Structure 1
Amino acid sequence: MRVGLDVRPATGFPNSGIGRQNVALEDAFRAHPEVQLQVFSVGPYDHPVRRIAHCPRWATPLDGIHRLPERLKFEACFLPGALRDAEVELYLANLNMGLPIGRKPAGMRYVLQLHDLFQLTLNNAHGSKIKAMIYGQTDRLSIAYSVKVADRIWTPSQFTAEETVRLFPQARDKVRVLPNLVEGFTSTPAQLDTPLPERYWLCVGTREPRKNMPWFVEAWQIARRQFPKTPALVLVGGPDGLSTAQRELPGLHILRGIGDGQLHQVYRQAERLWHPSYGEGFGLPVVEALGVGTPVAVASGSSLDEVTPADSPRFSPHDQSALIRLMGVLSTAEPEDPAPLKAWAERFGVEAYRRRFNELLEELR
């Protein structure tokens, strides 16, 4: 089978969740003995991706991959002809959208990897109201088009699968669940330049409003006043969304730009990872924490319910009083046995991922 894969996410933002899953797909395709893989992307003229991928003759800056004019040029003007010339039989896009625009050639099949639908259901972070309005409309049209023309839609969770069917009932028979790959850390734990507190809780990923971080930090601040043994809090990802007063709270440590080995160490040292998001398509940090034996506490109501062990603490992402009480209880909790946590995380490892991937690919042969 001659397969084409959109690798724009891995080109432009390789360390993001979508970029990492883009690499996981590429590795899985290359490992399959009956697949001949062709990759398609964009980039600057001097970018190394141009040596391995089908790219248009024009240059695209790495920070412009998501921009609407660049997307339309690639998906409408370049991709249809490039896929035909490469004799691709199956093409996969994993940008939540991005399938070729125009008439689908006879015999070609499309797969859309749809990570979540929060672009349509929630208010996301944009530079201005005008940008939010423009992106809201174009994202809706782009996702709806890709859902319509896709032969299969792969989602990372049952939650996202159900949201897809709720918003696009006509796609019900196309939707399949392929849980994300979480390989764990390959780098050795490395110390940070600035020492971490002896005891701390951890949150990873802070930018989007749905991450619920200002609300969570406010609850943690109150818990620190009410329960003296409440640990410090480390945020990985930056202070976006936090008020000036919150950024200066005693016991709050904000980390940005740390390496993989340093992140590994941050996870390992944490007493617990908290994930307060009210909207997640998968919840990668939860599995990363469990993979190093760090217990978790998560907000209920989205895909976090699926990636978290049944006996892990849960809380409503809208009931701050209940969260504060839970923080009080967990501030004095005994350490957990890491072995069951690591065993749970293995269900999202390479072996499980490849097994499910091969099942879904077999469907399309």
Structure 2
Amino acid sequence: MGFDSSLSMCLTIYLHLHVELEGLLVEFKLLHAHMWFAEELSLHFVYRFKVAQAVPMNDMISFEDLSKKINVDQLTVIRLLRNAMTFHMFHEPKKGFVAHTQDSRLLVEDETLYDFVGCALEDLRPGANNQLEAIEKWPGSQEPNHTGYNIAFNTELPLYRYLSQYPERIRRVSALMAQVMKSGFRDAKRIAELYPWESLGQGTIIDMGGGSGHNSVALARAHSKLKFIVQDLPSVTAQGEANLPAELQGQVSFMAHDFFKDNPVKDATAFFMMNTLHTWSDKYVVQIFKQLVPSLKPGARILVCDRVVPEQGTVSDVEYKEIRSVDIYMMHSVNGRERSAEDIFGLFKETDARFKHFKSYNNSSSLYTICEAVWEP
């Protein structure tokens, strides 16, 4: 088992992506549900007490010595680690001793993976535990600060504004995003093959909420005739500008912009949004689209790139379960949602009848879909 299996294991624990064999009885699934919490608790213990860092990388350590090293009583260490061993986190090479597996070693060798686990269990999981209280307190709300996360951390601030106050949490969220972007399914290079970018000629693409520009950089390298302007928060665009490869100077540029305000670029060929709209409820997506209208020229294209919700049965059960689980995460953290292509096109229609010619683009090499609307005043 390598990196992919370890990352998959962590996602499984947080998102509950348990792959049941086809034909298992419903009763068994329900009885098995209590084990999810045992897995989470064991992994959380490994993270909180830095157990992986306390186990020798190329040797074994007794439960007795390990308990002294991390200052936790021996019986608790034995019980939690033997449960962790059931999902390949450490192993017991001889009775009473602990050693690393390939998966547990990664928590030492890859700091971002370690922080990823911490983010999932300490920063994100509490929101899920309190989401039902949020539903009762704010029924039907689409506000980003009416979530289980707000109840869990007793704050009126939306998730990312709250996290920004704590450097350790910001580091963990950054690590989570770094791990997500390592997945081949989320490789920016594949987005360059997902849409007929050459049909845009020598146009200018506005990468809205484009972060440090990783998508625009990949697209610029694949399509040299296009120009890209990456828009995001000032601190983010400054970082992207500082790290822009020299050969792309002039083809990719950066602009600080709040997409809830009129866009200052009036002659763009297309406006591209990847992994942006799913962090917002429908109410706010319509606002984002409305702020674009004054900047659109006839024929301008809006390209929404997201993991769209497929019809059940059109993809594997594992993939369908994952995207449904992510949808719940968006609910309890920011009041956003995952959408089908029809949902996205419906929001365009709700915004303005002049959005037309809806079309979606996808292929087997990517889990993403690009939903296109054309502005025809």
Q: What TM-score results when the alignment is normalised by the length of structure 1?
A: 0.32
User: Which has the greater radius of gyration?
Assistant: 2
Give the TM-score of the pair, scaled to structure 2.
Answer: 0.31
